[in-house]
Structure 1
Amino acid sequence: MAGKRRLSLGVQVLIGLALGVLLSILSKDIGVRLEPLGKAFIRLIQMVIVPLVFPLIVIGIAGMHDVKKLGRVAVKTLIYFEVVTTIAIVMGVIVARLTNVGAGAQLANVDTQALGKLAKGIDLTKFFLEIIPNNVVSAMAEGKLLPIIFFGIFFGLALVAIGDKGKPVLTLFESWTQAMFKVIEYAVSFAPIGVFGFVAFSVSKYGIQSLISLGQFVAVAYLAFLLAALVLFPLIALVFRVPYVSLLRFTWDLILLAFTTRSSEVALPLLIDRLEKFGTSRSINSFVLPTGYSFNLDGASIYASLAVVFIAHVYNLPLSMVQILTIIGILMVMTKGLAGVPSAVLVVLLATATEIGLPPEGVALLMAVDFFVDMGRTALNVIGNSLATVVIAKWENAFDHKQDVLVAQN
C-alpha cells in the first residue's frame, strides 16, 4: 500500500454523529454548550457559497454562448421543478389520507406563543420583485441566491456580448472558482467536529420526549420521504435514463452531511463540484443547482401537504375535495418562495392552514418535532436537486457519466 487509506467524509460524519449522540446521553449540559462547534462549521461552508456561486453562474451562462440556449435551459428547469414539486405535494396528501395520520390523537394543549415569531405569510409580489436586486452587493452580503443568480445571468450575457474583451474576466473567474473549491476542501476537514457539536447540542436540547409524543407523524413523514427517494425519484431517473443508484452512491456523504446539520446550504458548494465530476456540464450545473435551492424543495413540499392534513385529522376536521385541491394549489405557489424566509416551511404551513380554516395550534404542535422531521426533509431536498441537475443535463445532451470517479466515494 502506498499509504494509509483515509476515512471517507461519510464515515467521518457518521463517527461525529455517533459521538455527538453519546455525549448528549452522558451529559446534556456539556452537549448544549457545544452548539458553537456546529455553527462554526456551517459558517465555514456558508462563507464560500456566494464567492463560488456567482462566478460559476457567470461562467456557466458565458459557456452557453447564446440567449436562446439559456432560455431553453431555464424553461426546461422551471417546468421540471413545478411538475416534480406538484407530484411531491400530491404524494404528501395521499400518504396522509391513506395512513389517516393524526386521527384520534390525544394531544395536550399547546403553546402558540412561538408562532408570533414567524412571519404571517409570504408576499409573492415582494418575493418576485426582490429577485431583481436593487443593490447586488447587498444581496451578496445577505447571501440571497436568487438575486445573485439574476445578476449573474445578465453579467454572463454581457461578457459574451463584448467578445474577446470579456475573456480576462472569465479567466479570472476560472482561477477564482478553483481557489474557492480549495477553500471548501479545507472547510470540509472540520465536518466531523461540526457534526459532533451540532448533534450533541440538538439531541441535548430537544431530547426524545417530543419525538415520542408525536412519533406517529414523524414516522409517516419519513415514510413519505422514503417513497419519494425510493419510488418517485427512481421513476423520474428511469424516464430520463439517469443512473440514479450511482448518483446516490456518489453523493451519499453530502446527503448525510445535510441530514445531520439540517442545512442544505452546507451541501451546495460541495454538490456543485461533485456533480460536475459525476458528469454534468458546468454550464447546466451552475444554473440548475442554485436555482433548485429556491424552486425545487421536494422534501418541504411533501412535508407541508402532509402536515396540513395531519392537523385536520388531529382536530377531527374533515377535508372536502375542494379543500384538498385548495391545499395543493396554495402549496404549488407558496413552496416556491421558501428561500430566505425565516422558519420558511412553518410559515408556509401556517399560511396554508389559516387559509382553509385550520387552527394555528396545530402548527405550534408540529414545531415540537420539527428538528427531527427537518433532518429528513433537508436530505430529500438535496437528493431532489442532485437528480434535477442530472436530468436537465441529460435533457440537454450535456451529461457524460464518468464511471471511474465513483470508486473514490466507496
Structure 2
Amino acid sequence: MATKNRFKLNLGLKVIIGLILGLIVGYVSKEVGLKLEIVGKAFIQLIQMVIVPLVFPLIVLGITGMHDTKKLGRVAFKTLLYFEIVTTVLIILGILIAKVTNVGGHMHVGAVDTSSLGNLAKGIDFGEFFLSIIPSNIVEAMAQGKLLPIIFFGIFVGLALTSLEDKAKPVITFFEAWLQAMFKVVEYAVSFAPVGVFGFISFSVAKYGIGSLLSLGQFVGITYLSFAVTAFVVFPIIALIFRIPYKELLKRTGDLILLTFTTRSSEASMPLLIHRLEKFGVSRSVTSFVLPTGYSFNLDGASIYISVAIIFLANVYNLPLSLDQIIVIIGLLMLMTKGLAGVPSAVIVVLLAAAKEIGLPAEGVALLLAVDFFVDMGRSALNVVGNSLATVVIAKSEKSFHFNAEDK
C-alpha cells in the first residue's frame, strides 16, 4: 500500500517538474522547444495504444457483471439523462457568467486572419453521426479508435455472453485476465508522463508563446473563472446532493487531472482513471459503461467554453442578443455538444455553427484559435473531473458505490 501511495504522489510531483522545465526550455530556445514535440506525441501515442484493448473488455465485462438487461437499460437511461441535465446547466451558467462580466465588451478587433479555419470540418451531420455509432466494420472502428462504435459492439457482445451463461465462462475469464494485463501496461505507460509533459509544454510555449494569451487575457480569464465555478461550486453541490466525498475524489484523481491539464488530452488519463475509480469504490459494471460514454457525451469543459465564447464574440462585434436568440443558442448547444469526440476540431466546429446561426463572422472564431491552446488545458481537465463525478453519481444511484477510505 505504501508503495502505491508513493507512486501516486511522485507522479504528480514529476509532472509539475516536467511542466516547469518545459516552460523554461520552450521560452529560452524556440528551436529546441519545437523539436521536442515528438516527445509529447510519443507519450500520447503510448497511452492511445492501450485505450481500445482496455475499453472493449471493460464494456463486455461491465455488461456481463450486470447480469440482467434491465439494469443495463436503467444505467444507460440514468447516464444519458444526467449528462444532458448537467451539460445544459453548464451551458446556461457559461452564458450567465459571460453576460454578467460583459466579456469582450470593451475589446476592438481589426482584420483577423481566417486561414486557420480552412481545414476544419464545416458542420455536423447528425444522421451520419448516429449511423456511425453502429459499426459496419468493428475492426476498422477499433483501428481508428472510435469509442462509440466500440461501446455499441461491446454491449452486444456482453449481452450475448450473458445469455450463454456457463458456456461463456472461458471467454469471460480470458477478458478478466486480459484486463489485468492492460492495467499493467497503462501503469508502465503513465510512468513516462513527466517526460511527455516536458515535451508538450516545451513545444507549445515555443510555438505559441505567451503574447497571444496576453492580448485575449480577459476571455481566457473569464473562461477559467467559469471552469472554477463549475469545479468548486456546481460539482460540489451535485456531490452534496448524492452524498459523494467530492474532496476525496479530487484528491484521489488530482495527479490525473494535472496530467490531462498539461497534455491537453483526456485520453492521457482515461485508462488509469478507470482503475482509480474502481479503487475509489465504484463497481466495474458501472465504471466500464459510464466513463467511456462520458468521453463522448459529457464534455463539461466544452459546454462551458462554447457558451462563454459565443457571448464574447457577440460583445466584440457589438451584436446584442435577445432572450429568444439566447434560448436558441442554449437549445443548439444542448444538441451539438453531444458526441464531440467523433468530430475533428469538434469544439471549433460547434462554435462556428453556433456563431453562424446568430450572424457572427468566422473571423471571431479564428481570433479565439490564437488562445485555444491555453483554454484547452482547462477545458480538458474539467472534462475529466466531470466524468469522474458522473461515474460516481450513477454508481451511487445504483447502490454500486462503496467508498473505500483505506485504499488511497
Q: TM-score range by the shorter chain?
A: over 0.9
- Stretches of structure 1 that go unaligned for 5 or more consecutive residues are none
Q: Distance in 2 between matches of 1:289 and 1:43?
A: 20
Alpha-carbon RMSD? 1.2
CA contact (8 A) 2:39 2:196 kept: yes
| TM-score (ref. length: structure 2) | 0.98
| TM-score (ref. length: structure 1) | 0.97
Match of 2:187 in 1: 185
Quick one: which amino acid aligns to residue 70 of structure 2? K
Quick one: which amino acid aligns to residue 128 of structure 2? K
- Stretches of structure 2 that go unaligned for 5 or more consecutive residues are none
User: 109, 116, 120: which one pairs with 2:111?
Assistant: 109
Match of 1:157 in 2: 159
Q: Distance in 2 between matches of 1:114 and 1:62?
A: 47
User: 218, 229, 232: which one pairs with 1:230?
Assistant: 232
Query: Deviations 1:350-389 (Å, cap 9, x if unpaired)?
Result: 0010011111111000000000000000000000000000
Quick one: which amino acid aligns to residue 186 of structure 1? Y
Instruction: Give SS of 1:242's match.
Output: coil
Q: Which runs of 4+ in 1 moved over 4 A?
A: 2-7
Q: Distance in 2 between matches of 1:41 and 1:133?
A: 28
Is 1:307 the counterpart of 2:309 in the alignment?
yes
Q: Distance in 2 between matches of 1:186 and 1:80?
A: 34
Query: Deviations 1:77-97 (Å, cap 9, x if unpaired)?
Result: 000000000001001100110
CA contact (8 A) 1:122 1:337 kept: no
User: 313, 331, 334: which one pairs with 1:332?
Assistant: 334
Match of 1:252 in 2: 254
Q: Distance in 1 between matches of 2:329 and 2:366?
A: 19
Quick one: which amino acid aligns to residue 20 of structure 2? A
Match of 1:130 in 2: 132
Match of 2:83 in 1: 81
Q: Distance in 2 between matches of 1:24 and 1:196?
A: 9
Quick one: which amino acid aligns to residue 250 of structure 1? R
Q: Distance in 2 between matches of 1:405 and 1:22?
A: 36
1:5-404 equivalence runs, <5 A: 8-404=10-406
Count of residues in Structure 1 that have an aligned counterpart in Structure 2: 405
Q: How far is the alpha carbon of 1:253 from its aligned partner?
A: 0.2
Quick one: which amino acid aligns to residue 212 of structure 2? S
Query: Deviations 1:153-176 (Å, cap 9, x if unpaired)?
Result: 000000010111111010000000
Q: Distance in 2 between matches of 1:160 and 1:24?
A: 53
Q: Distance in 1 between matches of 2:155 and 2:176?
A: 16
**Which segment drifts farther, 25-34 or 106-115?**
106-115
Q: Distance in 1 between matches of 2:383 and 2:342?
A: 16
CA contact (8 A) 2:59 2:154 kept: yes
**Which segment drifts farther, 17-26 or 256-265?**
17-26
Q: Distance in 2 between matches of 1:90 and 1:404?
A: 38
CA contact (8 A) 2:33 2:202 kept: yes
Q: How far is the alpha carbon of 1:106 from its aligned partner?
A: 2.0
CA contact (8 A) 2:264 2:377 kept: yes
Quick one: which amino acid aligns to residue 120 of structure 1? K
Quick one: which amino acid aligns to residue 371 of structure 2? V
Instruction: Give SS of 1:372's match.
Output: helix
Q: Distance in 2 between matches of 1:140 and 1:217?
A: 38
CA contact (8 A) 2:27 2:209 kept: no
Query: Deviations 1:125-159 (Å, cap 9, x if unpaired)?
Result: 11111000001110000000000000000000000
Q: Distance in 2 between matches of 1:155 and 1:147?
A: 12
Q: How far is the alpha carbon of 1:100 from its aligned partner?
A: 0.3
Q: Distance in 2 between matches of 1:332 and 1:207?
A: 34
Q: Distance in 1 between matches of 2:36 and 2:109?
A: 32
What percent of counterpart residues are identical?
69
Q: Distance in 2 between matches of 1:282 and 1:77?
A: 15
Q: How far is the alpha carbon of 1:5 from its aligned partner?
A: 5.6
Quick one: which amino acid aligns to residue 112 of structure 1? T
CA contact (8 A) 2:47 2:268 kept: yes
Quick one: which amino acid aligns to residue 155 of structure 1? V
CA contact (8 A) 1:55 1:152 kept: yes
